[in-house]
Amino acid sequence: MHKSVLAGTSRVPFDAASGVTPALLPVAGQNLWQALAAQDLWQRAGFLPAGAMEAPAGAVPDGAACPRAAEDILLLLMRGMHAALLPTWLTLAHAKGVAVPHACLVPLLEQGMGKPALREKLLPVLGERGRWLVAQNPEWISKYVAGSDDAAAVDLAWNTGGPPQRAAALRAMRSADPAAALATLQGGWAQEAADLRAALLPCLEVGLSLADEPFLEAALDDKRKEVRGIARELLAALPGSQLSARCAARMDALLTLLPRGEGQLPALEVSLPEACDKAMKRDGVGVENPYHMGEKQAWLFNMMQCVPPSHWSERWEQPPAGVLQVLQANDFGRVLQEGLVHAVGLSARAGDGQAADWFVAIHASKVPNARVLSARFADMAMALPPSGRERVLHAWLECGNGSGVPDALLLARSMASEGGAQVSLASSRLLLGRLQQMMREKDTPGYGMKYEFETMAGLLDIGEMEYLEQGWPEPDWAHWDNWRQLVDELKEALRFKNTLHRSFTDNKE
């Protein structure tokens, strides 16, 4: 009402000749209007304009300058030429201690807003100028700063950010100081919403240690099912955890090895559990049955996936291949193997030095129709260190029964998507050989073959380029016209990647 009455009063014409006296005389019916107008004038007359905002301090100059040749390559990548190699450029820049050139910062920051994988690669090479730019844009701050090494920015994201920003901040804190980060999480845990507890708890995998076990054991009693499941998985991945020990003890009571003749592997006798008590349910037994097994078989699966694979090697005095053969010969072998595959994935996340042996042994098995793998098996192998991935990839490609090739290609795609990953010359020859074999088996490129060629471009070794001209079908092959474009694009991408790598050793300004 107040605003409606005053509308337009500041623009009413004023007759200077008659003075202000007539306007100030009381007129019947206008007292309220005049009082409101006087109040409005008083408020506007007392208005003080805000002081000018102080400009933020400029960025500190970056250290090592980006070589001109590398900058030229980056500009080509940003224009769409072999854009899939952008993560490779960022990875190499980080390895060389080079920051992104200033002219490229804003476009890359914008591009990374919707691409978490790109942001992860971009953060370490933003340089002082890039971090300063991020601090000037609230939208960039919400995506980039929480993962940085800026303690103040991480603290701000933890206290004021949304769930994704708080989770990223907690991971950054765990990387810097796991114990302090755990204490911070514990301090407000009881007040966190259930959805947020489920979003924050997985962050403890960064720097996971036995110091986290009491907190995770308490989380097994959380009211939220998702929180309990995450706590179980973290405890199962934690070497030496009480949960793994409890499940191992239960399985030891159910599995008995029976010796056989000399030179033969022992036979396995399996007793199904009689019941699932409260303590077993707390440890996740009976909670998950993803393969529609019988109830008691599902209990075996739940316990098996929480037992470190090394437990069976040590207890049965068998290498991974021997353990697998013992399991495969049993009527419940499929259930036990499925649980073991999940346990192998957890052991890789835990940094078990023997995890790669298990990934290799599972595919090397010669027992017919006994290959039991999780749909995420290749993804599980990505938790291995780079040397372990390389070894597994090479072994799967060489697998005599061919069972490892599909997962090898899946693993190769995941490795290529990380950017900067480049397998050895020996593995590169095997990968290229598999690709050439796929060509010979098909008259025309099927759906997805272009993606297979792009994967190879990101992963193959470019230190020695001669092998790229070897192994292709003969020039008179009848189907060359169907494949020639893909092959030419692959060779061009690898030559470009070679130039990209060499650009970081160019010292010209």
Please check whether residue 362 is in contact with residue 374, taking contact to mean a CB–CB distance below 8 angstroms: no
Please check whether residue 154 is in contact with residue 148, taking contact to mean a CB–CB distance below 8 angstroms: yes
Lowest mean pLDDT among 232-236, 270-274, 419-423, 434-438: 419-423
Q: Find the DSSP H helices in 273-424.
A: 278-282, 295-304, 309-316, 320-328, 333-349, 355-364, 377-381, 386-398, 404-418
Q: Give the Cα separation of 454 and 465 in Å (integer).
A: 17
Q: Give the Cα separation of 215 and 297 in Å (integer).
A: 30
Taking 3-state DSSP, the helix, strand and coil percentages for the chain, each rounded to the nearest 5, stand at: 65, 0, 35
**Residue 240: alpha-carbon gap to chain centroid:** 26
Please check whether residue 390 is in contact with residue 459, taking contact to mean a CB–CB distance below 8 angstroms: no
Tokens of 237: 């991945």
DSSP state of 161: S
| pLDDT tens track for 351-401 | 888 999 999 998 887 544 444 666 688 889 999 998 999 999 999 988 765
What are the DSSP calls for 3-60, one per residue? HHHHTTGGG----GGG-SHHHHS--TT-HHHHHHHHHHHHHHHT--PPPPPPPPPPPP
Return all residues near 69 (Cβ < 8 A) that are at least 6 apart: 502, 503, 504, 506, 508
Query: What is the structure's pLDDT at 53?
Result: 47
Q: Give the Cα separation of 203 and 60 in Å (integer).
A: 32
Please check whether residue 279 is in contact with residue 245, taking contact to mean a CB–CB distance below 8 angstroms: no
Q: Find the DSSP H helices in 46-177.
A: 68-78, 86-96, 102-112, 116-122, 127-136, 138-144, 151-160, 163-176
3-class DSSP state of 369? coil
Q: pLDDT band for position 207 (50/70/90)?
A: very high
Structural domain boundaries of the chain? 68-145, 152-234, 239-378
Distinct helix (H) and strand (E) counts, the chain: 28, 2
- Is pLDDT at 486 greater than 60 in this prediction? yes
Q: Give the Cα separation of 93 and 62 in Å (integer).
A: 13
Among 429, 385, 387, 434, residue whose Cα is nearest residue 408: 434
Please check whether residue 52 is in contact with residue 493, taking contact to mean a CB–CB distance below 8 angstroms: no
Q: Give the Cα separation of 218 and 213 in Å (integer).
A: 9
Residue type, 15: D
Instruction: Give the residue-averaged pLDDT of 429-448.
Output: 87
Among 239, 241, 215, residue whose Cα is nearest residue 349: 239
Q: pLDDT band for position 61 (50/70/90)?
A: low
Query: What is the structure's pLDDT at 101?
Result: 95
Q: Give the Cα separation of 322 and 246 in Å (integer).
A: 24
Among 261, 346, 263, residue whose Cα is nearest residue 309: 346
Please check whether residue 197 is in contact with residue 203, taking contact to mean a CB–CB distance below 8 angstroms: no
Please check whether residue 417 is in contact with residue 451, taking contact to mean a CB–CB distance below 8 angstroms: no
String of b and e for 275-301 (b: at least 16 CB within 10 Å)?
ebeeebebbbbbbeeeeebeebbbbbb
Among 237, 234, 239, residue whose Cα is nearest residue 219: 234
| Sign of the torsion formed by the C-alpha atoms of 356, 359, 364 and 365 | positive
Q: Give the Cα separation of 143 and 30 in Å (integer).
A: 57
| pLDDT tens track for 211-232 | 999 999 999 999 999 999 999 9
Q: pLDDT band for position 458 (50/70/90)?
A: confident
Give percent of the chain with pLDDT exceeding 70: 83
Lowest mean pLDDT among 116-125, 316-325, 417-426: 417-426
Q: pLDDT band for position 22 (50/70/90)?
A: low
Please check whether residue 147 is in contact with residue 119, taking contact to mean a CB–CB distance below 8 angstroms: yes
- Is pLDDT at 13 greater than 60 in this prediction? no
**Residue 79: alpha-carbon gap to chain centroid:** 26
